[in-house]
Amino acid sequence: MTVPTRIYLTGFMGSGKSTLGPRLADRLGYDFVDLDRDIERAVGGTVQAIFANRGEEAFRRLETERLRAVSHADRMVIALGGGAVTREDNLHFTKAQGRLIYLRMTPRHLADRLEKRAASRPMLHEEGRPLSGASLRKRIAALLAQRESFYEQADIVLDVGKRSLESAVSMAMEALENKSGT
């Protein structure tokens, strides 16, 4: 099987990029990079702190910079932040550098996953407080609606909703095998 030298995972926060990524990398014998963690190491602060202190635009600039820095290596699986591909240059860059995989989930399933973790997700806050319940579901649906057209441009779209981790990894491997000749 011939697999691209770089595989990028995209999707909404909570879709499993940081969980599936290391497993997929292990199966391929690749290294794994979580772009958000890479940004945190590079600046010495959390994504939440960067959003709070510098704003989203500054975070997006850092994200673009770090994406290019980590993409110099080969044999990598890179989990992107949920908004990374909403910048056209990042979307085109990832597709030119490797294979982009969208981990698709429904807003309801995402809300179920993110309910307990909303406090650490700046995009799921309103007036400095994490959202919950119907407000959280509404915000997720709205953000997903804004981002979906970018996500759908991925080379591979995987519905990972209620799948087990191993099933999702196997599905990704099969999709990569099927796309390797294109």
The per-residue pLDDT for range 147-168, each reduced to its tens digit, is 999 999 999 999 998 888 999 9
> pLDDT tens digits for 84-108?
999 999 999 999 999 999 999 999 8
- On average, the pLDDT of the chain sits at 90
- Contact (Cβ atoms closer than 8 angstroms) between residue 103 and residue 175: no
The separation between CA 146 and the C-alpha centre of its own chain, rounded to angstroms, equals 15
Mean pLDDT throughout 134-148?
A: 91
Q: Would you say residue 110 has pLDDT above 70?
A: yes
pLDDT > 70: percent of the chain: 96
Collapsing DSSP states into helix, strand and coil, what is residue 14? coil
pLDDT of residue 129: 83
> pLDDT tens digits for 1-54?
567 889 999 999 989 999 999 999 999 999 999 999 999 999 999 988 898 899
Collapsing DSSP states into helix, strand and coil, what is residue 105? coil
Q: Between 100 and 112, whose confidence is greater?
A: 100
Pairing of strands 129-130, 125-126: antiparallel
**CB 76: neighbour CB atoms within 10 A?**
22
Residues 6+ apart with CB under 8 A from 80: 8, 9, 10, 17, 35, 67, 90, 94
The CATH-assigned architecture of domain 6-105+151-175 is 3-Layer(aba) Sandwich (3.40)
Collapsing DSSP states into helix, strand and coil, what is residue 2? coil
52/108 Cα distance (integer angstroms) = 27
Mean pLDDT throughout 118-126?
A: 77
pLDDT tier at 57, thresholds 50, 70, 90: very high
